[in-house]
Amino acid sequence: MELPQAGLTAIYPGSFDPITNGHRDVISRASKIAGRLIVAVLKNESKRPLFSVPERIEMMTQVAEEFPNVVVESFDGLLVDYAAARGASLIIRGIRAISDYENELQMALMNRRLRPDVETVFLMAGEQYSFVSSRLVKEIIGLGGDIRGLVPPVVEAKLKDRILGQVERGIAVK
């Protein structure tokens, strides 16, 4: 494999609530494409996240520490404006299924209309992660299921702490 393009900055945005091994797989592959990869955690409180933005940044920083060209930040507002402000010309999006593609294509086309100089690249999920979503992981652990292999160990520990603690206190998990 060739070295990443040194001058190319890419952004991999998402809510990452929580980070899955599918996200980690996309980071691993995207870090080989771009000289600098910014993993951008979305500040979107309307989604009622399980973890706060600082908690997600902390977990993502731990997950991404093995990739020297990856930095973790947060953003709100228009992704393409954030990309322009950070000098990024590429947005990385992971695709698991056709339903992902339809939504992601619509966003990519709108982003292209807003900022034609920022390109979107879709990376297909690794087959072992094509069924994994943050929502499913939260649901499985909330129902007492085993999530080993679906999320990095640091995330698994935080999920058990947070979700199993809520279940014990009788709080509904979303």
- The catalytically annotated residue of 24, 36, 93, 134 is 134
* Known catalytic membership, residue 160: no
Q: Are 91 and 13 in contact (CB under 8 A)?
A: yes
Instruction: From 151, 126, 125, select the one nearest 136 (Cα to Cα).
Output: 151
* Known catalytic membership, residue 24: no
Inter-axis angle of helices 21-30 and 53-64, to 10 degrees?
A: 60
- Can you say whether the dihedral through the CA atoms of 164, 165, 169, 172 is positive or negative? negative
CA-to-CA distance for 143 and 65, rounded, in angstroms? 31
- The catalytically annotated residue of 23, 56, 93, 158 is 23
- The catalytically annotated residue of 29, 43, 96, 162 is 96
- The catalytically annotated residue of 32, 47, 135, 160 is 47
* Known catalytic membership, residue 46: no
* Known catalytic membership, residue 115: no
Paired sense of beta strands 70-75 and 90-95, if any:
unpaired
Report the catalytic residues.
23, 47, 96, 134
